[in-house]
Structure 1
Amino acid sequence: MTTPAAPRITYGTVLGSPYVARLLGATLVGRLPNGMAPVAILWWAVAAHGGLAFAGLLSAVYGLAASLAQPVKGRLMDRHGQPAVHLPAALANSTLLAALPLTGSYGGPAAATAVVVVAGLTTPALETGLRALWPSVLPDPGLRHAALALDTGSQGLLYIVGPPLAAALTAVHSAALALAATAALGLLGAVVVASAPPTRRWRPATTAGPAAETARRLANPGLVLLFVALTGIGFAIGAMNVWAIAMAERHQQGMLSGTLPAAFSAGSFLSGLIYGRRTWPGTTTGRLIAATGGFLAGWLPLFALPGPYAATAAIVLPGAFLTVVIACAFVTTDTLTPTGRTSEAYAWLLLSIGTGTSAGTALAGRLAEQPIAGAALPAAGAAFALTVLLAARRRLATACDRPRRGRHRRPARGRHRAR
């Protein structure tokens, strides 16, 4: 007798499952400010205060503040549910982004910095929330694997659409309009996500007795080393964003500031579509390290200081490996995280990437006038990430090769299984 082949997973099946399209689409809209805000803040600061160094610093501060607040929001979601956290944060964030241009007339750099910090701190944790929702929305492991890859890869759309949209609105009208559009999209997406039935019903799994004490201990050496490595991934992304701005100024082609990040993200999006369609051989740890090596190799052509067209083509390659790195990092985090702390752990993962992104943005802003240094920074971040992962390989492999158990309580009502 032969065992029948498992049904082929398609993205149509995933998106056709109840609530998946709504949650994924609304989360992307609500997170579009992640791609728009740094560019809009950069261009507004250059116009209002002059100098790419301060503009890069202000953009880095926004990203750092957004990242630092993620674990707090993750812990709050684990305790109080997602709508109670998403809605107030989205309202505050959107209000502050829309009001930022007023500081140019009434407050100067100090007021602008304060507004950017608070706006970053109140960024809704939509990505963290969505990753925590997948086990209850898609109980089938095959569908969940495809959804995670689609989710991770579609993040590229944030940077395919976001930076060019912010740059276009700035060029056609003003950076103030770009900031207003950023605020409106962020609020709209958060409201749609927070009002979805799976979001309102979701609660994390809970434990009692001795297991509850274990659940309180989130940190472990493998998880810490993974998060340290991911700061290098974020550093490369942050340096790339400023390198794109510097390329735009050097070649006097303003749209390059959006086109280069968009090409990077296009590679991420396409690789996500490929990665999620099948089950890959080998271990999660092996794929994580191999993809990080590819991510590093993808940045090396920038050392040749290519022109606009060559740079746009070259930057697709590191983007293609980014999706696999992030998807494997989330799976590893889920494996290493105790029951009841998943949202918080995901938030720490995003904090690690965001902290690295802010550091890369700030340092690249300081070195923007030095083409070779600016082109080398993304590779330096990727090399750091690969070095840490190789050092942590034994710890990560031991944990990820253990059988995995479910970590989330499924909703009591409205469960749906894909057939």
Structure 2
Amino acid sequence: MASTVVSEKRPGYGQLLRTPGALSFLLPGFAARQPFAMLTIGIVLLVQHTTGSYGSAGAVAAVTGVSMALFAPQGGKLADRFGQRAVLLPGVLVHSASVSLLVALALAGAPMWALFLAAVPAGASVPQVGPMVRARWAAILGRTSPGEESAKGLSLLPTAAAFESVTDEFTFVIGPVLATALCTGVHPAAGLIAEASLTLIGGLFFAAQRGTQPPHGLAAGQADAEPHRSALSVPGVRVLAIAFLGIGSVFGGMQVSLTAFSEEIGNPGINGVLYGVFAAGNMLAGVAMGAVAWNIGPRRRLLLGYTGLAITASLLWSVHSAPLLGALGLVVGLFIAPALITGYTIVETLVPASARTEAFTWLTGAVALGQAGAVTVAGQLADAHGASTGFLVPLGGTVLALATLVALRGHLKPRDSGRVTARGIGHRVPVSVD
């Protein structure tokens, strides 16, 4: 079907940031979401230092990723039911303690099974601040008098989705570079110590912002006027979760392979720079996504983003020069943001508000699961056949994700299409449609 041209200019980031209460949760939320950017690379660098094996380092990092993927949606479901604060407060305390234990065990030369045991709670307790921030945006932008919906707020939702992707990617510019610099320039454990500290401080401050917390429990159910069901029961959410595994394969494959590549050429310090360039491309594309009023529908944008991602990721394994790898990594990053932003935008149209945080965490968890599998496989390949073979992992993951989207794109149509609801995530006005 032909695309409908957007009939008004996309609201800007300045207008979004002037939303009452926004800055109160954005600033602490930025610090509290650092685990997703620093945890994996911090573990890889520390465990590789203590064991001498990228395979072992990738395996420990993978355990944290799998744990996060399994527990994150449950945390999102609990946040929808009991409130974000009730989940965050114990979560950040457990996470900081678990990461500290993992550091102590690694430095003491503990056996791998002990590192695996410590990695489970470290991953399971990663605070899902990104999904929580997205849920807060959706709540405050759709907040108006009972039974009505703010057209201005709804028109800002795509801008908010783009802004959140930019923020996520900025953490992936800052986080890996910071973790690498600390691990290589200060102490191999310094990256994880900084990650645990930022999580604790940022998480506590974020949890203290009660005024912007979305409704939860019975209040949210009454606003929805429909019974709660798991977000994963929606076919479109399952399709997007599978697709987001491919994005995770890029993150995980790039982290391990770039680390191995930097060691292979005798310049380990360049690892953070190369990954930062990749994440910078991601962030720049996110900025552009939020500033452009697209005249093609979200499903088509999603397919185009994944097509570009699969094509560029397929070239990584053949590059053996640091400058060329950095340039190609930049291009790969340019296709990550469109895929992420459009996926999060689509999922808002698929689920009711009572399952919103859970839906976001399924996507975040899928990225973590894809990343976990990628660091394991890429680490084994790098150990056995050299750094370049690790880049085959992003190739395989993105191709499978694209094939899934092409085959099952019909499940991504918005729920209750054509009807305006009071939840702020149904039909939007005015937007482009497929």
TM-score, normalised on structure 1? 0.90
Identify the residue that residue 417 of structure 1 maps to in structure 2: none
Q: Is the 8 A contact 2:252 2:374 kept in 1?
A: yes
Q: Distance in 2 between matches of 1:87 and 1:214?
A: 24
User: One-letter code of the match for 2:80?
Assistant: D
> How does 1:147-226 map onto structure 2 within 5 Å?
147-200=160-213, 202-203=215-216, 206-207=220-221, 212-213=226-227, 215=229, 218-226=232-240
Whether contact under 8 Å (1:42, 1:55) holds in the other structure is yes
Structure 2 unmatched ranges of 5 or more: 1-6, 143-152, 426-434
Match of 2:159 among 146, 151, 154: 146
Any unmatched runs of 5+ in structure 1? 410-419
Bigger mean CA offset, 265-274 vs 229-238: 229-238
Change (3 A) 1:9 1:222: closer
The match for 2:370 among 343, 353, 356 is 356
2:392 to 376, 399, 411: 376
The aligned counterpart of 1:413 is none
Q: 1:106: Cα distance to partner? A: 7.3
The answer to whether the Cα contact below 8 Å between 1:305 and 1:375 also exists between their aligned partners in 2 is no
Secondary structure of the 1:405 match is: coil
Distance 1:6 1:283 in 2: 15
How far did residue 47 of structure 1 move? 2.1
**Distance (whole Å) between structure 2 residues aligned to residue 406 and residue 39 of structure 1:** 42
CA shift for structure 1 position 324? 1.3
Q: Letter of the aligned partner of 1:375 in structure 2?
A: F
Aligned amino acid, residue 406 of structure 2 = L
Would you say the 8 A contact 1:45–1:54 is kept in 2? Answer: yes
Q: How many residues align?
A: 405
Q: Do structure 1's residue 330 and structure 2's residue 344 form an aligned pair?
A: yes
Secondary structure of residue in 2 paired with 1:344:
helix
Q: For 1:270, what is the secondary structure of its paired residue?
A: helix
For 2:414 and 2:213, the matched residues in 1 are separated by: 36
User: Matched residues in 1 for 2:131 and 2:414: separation?
Assistant: 25
After superposing the two structures, state which structure 1 stretch, 311-320 or 14-23, moved more: 14-23
Deviation of 1:390 (Å) = 0.3
Which residue does 2:430 correspond to in 1?
A: none
Would the alpha carbon gap of residues 312 and 22 (structure 1) be closer, same or farther in structure 2, given more than 3 Å must change?
A: farther
Contact 1:234 1:354 in 2 (8 A): yes
Q: 1:227 aligns with which of 238, 241, 259?
A: 241
CA distance in 1, matches of 2:298, 2:274: 30
Q: Indicate how the Cα distance of structure 1 residues 187 and 155 shifts in structure 2: closer, same or farther if over 3 A, else same.
A: same
Structure 1 segment 244-255 matched on structure 2, within 5 A: 244-255=258-269
The 1:29/1:231 distance shift into structure 2, 3 A limit, reads same
Q: Does residue 118 in structure 1 map to residue 132 in structure 2?
A: no
Match of 1:131? Answer: 134
- For the residue of structure 2 that corresponds to 1:392, the secondary structure is helix
Give runs of aligned pairs for residues 75-86 of structure 1, distance below 5 A: 75-86=77-88
Tell me, in whole angstroms, the C-alpha distance in 2 between the residues paired with 1:199 and 1:33: 23
Instruction: Please state how far the C-alpha of 1:207 moved relative to its aligned partner.
Output: 4.1
User: 1:37 aligns to what?
Assistant: 39
Distance in 1, Cα, partners of 2:49 & 2:308: 38
Q: Is the 8 A contact 1:247 1:256 kept in 2?
A: no
Is this contact kept in 2: 1:288–1:325, CA < 8 A? Answer: yes
Distance in 1 between the 2:139 and 2:320 partners? 47
- Is 1:366–2:368 an aligned residue pair? no
**Greater CA drift, 241-250 or 96-105:** 96-105
CA distance in 2, matches of 1:348, 1:216: 10
Q: Distance in 1 between matches of 2:136 and 2:10?
A: 23
Show the counterpart of 1:416. none
Q: Tell me the distance in 1 between the aligned counterparts of 2:34 and 2:389.
A: 29
CA 1:193–1:209 in 2, change beyond 3 Å: closer, same or farther? closer
The CA deviation at 1:294 is 1.2
Deviates more, 1:207-216 or 1:94-103: 207-216
Q: Offset at 1:42?
A: 1.2
Partner SS, residue 36 of structure 2? helix
1:61 alignment partner in structure 2: 63
CA 1:216/1:71 → structure 2, altered by over 3 Å: closer, same or farther? closer
Offset, 1:29: 1.0
TM-score (norm. length: structure 2): 0.87
Matched, 1:299 2:300: no
Conservation of the 8 A alpha-carbon contact between 2:68 and 2:369: no
Aligned to 2:359: 345
Contact (CA 8 Å) 2:136, 2:213: kept in 1 or not? no
1:262 is aligned, of 269, 276, 282, to: 276
Q: 1:206 to 1:22 in 2, by over 3 A?
A: closer
- Tell me which residue corresponds to 2:429: none
The alpha-carbon deviation at position 35 of structure 1 amounts to 1.5
Question: Which whole-Å CA distance do the structure 2 matches of 1:48 and 1:390 have between them?
Answer: 43
Amino acid at match of 1:173: V
Comparing 202-211 with 67-76, which one deviates more in the overlay? 202-211
